[in-house]
Homo-oligomer: A and B are copies of this chain.
Amino acid sequence: MGITKTQIFNTEQNELANTFKVLSNPARIAILEFISKQDACICNDIVEEIGLAQPTISQHLKELKSINLIKGEIEGKKICYCINLKTWAAVQKRLNFFFNTTKVKCC
């Protein structure tokens, strides 16, 4: 159906899955990598770098913003996008918690 039955899972499972979903696109990975390499991060540069149309990049940035992985500061007519260090660390910690607590008992 394309629809996920979120109601049968708990909040932690849904949020974790959603975090993974935001990261599950190579364009968004590339955007994060590119932003992290720049001193100043401007959308138009991202468009040229990634090679996708401007609306597409804008949409990907919106998704990254939806979980606060990045933040954009308006600088004149440009926007300086950068990684939100606080969320970044929190997400990494959460993913590690998932990997560490998912232990193996069989096989």
Query: Measured between C-beta atoms, what is the minimum distance from A69 to chain B in Å?
Result: 10
Name A's interface SS: helix
Residues on B with C-beta less than 8 A from A9 are 26-27, 29-30
Query: Measured between C-beta atoms, what is the minimum distance from A73 to chain B in Å?
Result: 6
Q: Does A13 contact B (CB under 8 A)?
A: yes
Q: Which size class do A's interface residues fall under?
A: 35 or more
Q: Which residues of A contact B (CB under 8 A)?
A: 4-6, 8-9, 13-14, 16-18, 20-21, 23-30, 32-33, 35-41, 50-52, 71, 73, 80, 82-83, 85, 88, 91-92, 95-96, 98-99, 101-107
8 residue pairs, one from A and one from B, having the closest CB atoms:
A21-B24, A82-B107, A9-B26, A20-B24, A20-B23, A92-B99, A17-B26, A36-B102
